[in-house]
Amino acid sequence: MKQLAITFSALIFFMHVQAQHYTPVDESSEIKFTIKNFGISTPGTFKGLKGSIAFSPDNLSAAFFNATIDAATINTGIDTRNNHLKKEEYFNVAKYPLINFVSTRLTANETEKNTYTLFGKLTIKGTTKEISFPFKAEQQGNGILFTGSFKINRRDFKVGGNSMVLGDNVEIFLKVFAKKL
C-alpha cells in the first residue's frame, strides 16, 4: 500500500511539471506579414493554421511548437497579386502547400515576465532555416495567446528572385491563440 501511495504521488508530481498541451485555433489567430513593394509597406496574411503546442512556464525543457499554415491562403487584398504569389517563382503552392515551423528550444527572458525566445526551424518552399524570435505568452480564457514577430529574407527561402521593386526583407507578425486540450 505504501508503494502504491508513493507511485501515485510521483505520478501526480510528474503530471504537474509536464508541459500543458494546446492546439492553435486558426479563426482566433492572425499570421500577418509586411514587405516593401515599390518602396511602400505592403501587408498580407495567411490562414490555415494547424499544429500542436506543449507549453508550461514551469517546464520550458518540455515545451515544443509544431505549426503549419496553408501557403495557398496568402491574401494581400489584391486577387491578381495573390494568384501571382501562388505560382512557382514565389510560393509554388502546388508543390509546397504548407509553411512549417518546428521548435528546437525555448528560453525565458530573465527581465520581462511572460516573455520568451523561441528557437526552431522554419520551412518555406522546401528550404529550412534556423530562426529565433521573442514572444509573449498570456493566459486567456481556456488557452494562451502567443504574440511575437520576426524578420526573414524571402530570398533565403527562394521566394521570388532578384527584384528592383520588391524588398528582400519580410516582417512576420504572430498572434496565435491556442486552446488547452
Q: pTM for the whole thing?
A: 0.88
Backbone angles phi, psi at 39, to 5 degrees: 80, 0
Give the end-to-end CA distance of the chain in Å, rounded to a whole number: 33
pLDDT per residue as tens digits for the range 40-82: 999 999 999 999 999 999 999 999 999 999 999 999 999 999 9
Query: Which three three-digit cell numbers place residue 133?
Result: 524570435
